[in-house]
Structure 1
Amino acid sequence: MRVLLLTPLALLVACSGEKAPAPASSTEPAVAAAILPEPPAQTPVTAREVHEKNELYEFDYSYPASAGAVPGLKALLDQELEAARSKLKAEASEGQKAAKEAGFPYHPYTHSAEWKVVTDLPAWLSLSTLVGDYSGGAHPNYGFATVLWDRIAGKRRAPVDLFASKAALAGAIRTAFCRELDRQRARKRAGSGTGNIAEFSECIDPTDQTVILGSSNGKAFDRIGILVSPYAAGPYVEGDYEVTVPVTQKVLDVVRPEFKAAFVAG
């Protein structure tokens, strides 16, 4: 379960402007050119990518180099990786055993998470991922997850925690969110035969979904994304919804005082 890349060290060679010394005479021993010691090698910070596939399960997990460059965040993602892999192994073993006892064919379980950068700001790193799982059902299931890393505090924060409350944030973005959600619903349902589904016709609370923070200027958050999993706003066949709304004055009014500097109206 959305980057700082280490840049190579530049070697600057300055010319003194002085006249070069006369070449040594043939009777003098040859002098080898001075060899400057090379700078210490830097350990490259690369993305981590794990792929395992066997008769029991298939596991994929990756995160970008920018996340690996932050020790605390790297440790957190590595811990989540191991936890997800251990859980998959345990559940797949149980599923394989149950299938064998019942005389059913066993299909390998799967788990995947590919973390990508949403926004990389001087004080914040925002990541998101689509998490996919299959455990023998009629079809795979998937949802979303996010990591908002506070570089200054050196800790993970939930995006909604930067606001006065979930209710306050929901109230500030609800109108724009519901309007865009309905627009996307109408587009997906046009000609699909699903029409207006009573169960999925009402708007939903955006803060009950995965909230991510984004930026269009690379300096501060000016966009709020809402990642809506299948079944939350429509039937499975409609898939997920991704709604983006701008940071407005109403949103700025409900940002907690200590985080005001991280936001700007978009």
Structure 2
Amino acid sequence: MFRTALATALFLPILTGCSDNGAAEPAAAPASEDAATISAVAETPAQPGRAEAVDESTDDFEFAYSWPAAAGTGPLKDALTAERQRLRNEIATSAGAARREAEASGYPFRPFGFEKEWSVVTQTPRFVSLSAETYVYEGGAHGMQTFDALVLDREKNLVLQPGTMFSGTAALNDAVRGPMCDALDRARAERRGDMGTEGGWENACIDPVSDTSMILGSSDGRRIDRLGFLVGSSVAGAHAEGSYDLTIPVTDAVIAALRPEYRDAFAAAPEG
């Protein structure tokens, strides 16, 4: 493959609770496409599925896309299969165009690369929570990294983005911004040892909705009691700092910000 295996360990702590830091990654990227548009409804409840992994290599590009068994059935499989085909077509088109341009201009063409790996964050009786890390290379000095998240609502048999479970963007931001900013400052201080110039952009908080991918976690496998925020490189600090994996507990304010139909599936995290 064009890149070593993605750092799936970044997500593993969330199986029992999220960590405050993630492994540094080599590249940055803008927020991924709104996964709320990648939804599918199945006529029957999800059944045990099968993990899938595609690894394709051509003269123009290398493409890898995988998901775990928990995502290999029903609406999750439908949504991810459609996304996989779309992304594969996009990189084939863009890489082919770049190769032709390079040949016409007389400069070397560097094959493109794309890798996206989905992992299970947690499962509760109602939800399957997934996260993904993506690495994209398009011939430049280095590639770009993004994160993504999806949730299967088993009760509704629907795939959705975590943010859509809240009553609105403002309500979500108000409920999580303070705790997430505190978690980010702790992670920055631990990683840097020195917070640098007070008031610099590298010390400012980031937008928890637009600058991160939010994932749902559970400490007991029954209800969602933790929220994770995956932050790409260069978003919350210098590129060399890498990515951040932040965790905050679900609070009463978070539950109040949820749409009413989801509140019973969440619980305020135990103190301490």
TM-score by length of 2: 0.77
**4+ residue runs of structure 1 moved beyond 6 angstroms?**
none
Q: One-letter code of the match for 2:148?
A: A
**Equivalent-residue separation in structure 1 for 2:49 and 2:153 (angstroms):** 20
Task: Verify the 8 A CA contact 2:48 2:69 in the aligned structure 1.
Answer: no
Q: Do residues 260 (structure 1) and 267 (structure 2) align? A: no
Q: Which residue of 2 aligns with 1:23?
A: none
The CA deviation at 1:46 is: 2.2
Q: Which residue of 2 aligns with 1:65?
A: 69
**Equivalent-residue separation in structure 2 for 1:44 and 1:252 (angstroms):** 30
**Equivalent-residue separation in structure 2 for 1:200 and 1:165 (angstroms):** 28
Q: Do residues 74 (structure 1) and 98 (structure 2) align? A: no
TM-score by length of 1: 0.79
Task: Verify the 8 A CA contact 2:48 2:70 in the aligned structure 1.
Answer: no
Q: Which residue of 2 aligns with 1:153?
A: 156
The CA deviation at 1:257 is: 1.3
Gaps of 5+ in 2: 1-10, 12-46
Equivalent residue in structure 1 for 2:110, among 99, 107, 111: 107
Count the aligned residue pairs.
222
Q: One-letter code of the match for 1:233?
A: A
**Equivalent-residue separation in structure 2 for 1:52 and 1:44 (angstroms):** 26
**Equivalent-residue separation in structure 2 for 1:237 and 1:216 (angstroms):** 31
Deviation larger for 229-238 or 119-128: 229-238
Aligned-CA RMSD value? 1.9
Q: One-letter code of the match for 1:187?
A: E
Q: One-letter code of the match for 1:160?
A: G
**Equivalent-residue separation in structure 2 for 1:185 and 1:78 (angstroms):** 37
Q: One-letter code of the match for 1:106?
A: F
Q: Deviations over 1:232-251 (max 9, x none)?
A: 21122211111110001221
**Equivalent-residue separation in structure 2 for 1:110 and 1:123 (angstroms):** 36
User: Structure 1 residues 104, 82: closer, same or farther in 2, change over 3 A?
Assistant: same
Gaps of 5+ in 1: 3-42
Q: In percent, how many aligned pairs have the same letter?
A: 38
Task: Verify the 8 A CA contact 2:145 2:232 in the aligned structure 1.
Answer: yes
Task: Verify the 8 A CA contact 2:166 2:259 in the aligned structure 1.
Answer: yes
Q: One-letter code of the match for 1:97?
A: R
SS at match of 1:231: coil
Q: Do residues 119 (structure 1) and 119 (structure 2) align? A: no
The CA deviation at 1:44 is: 8.3
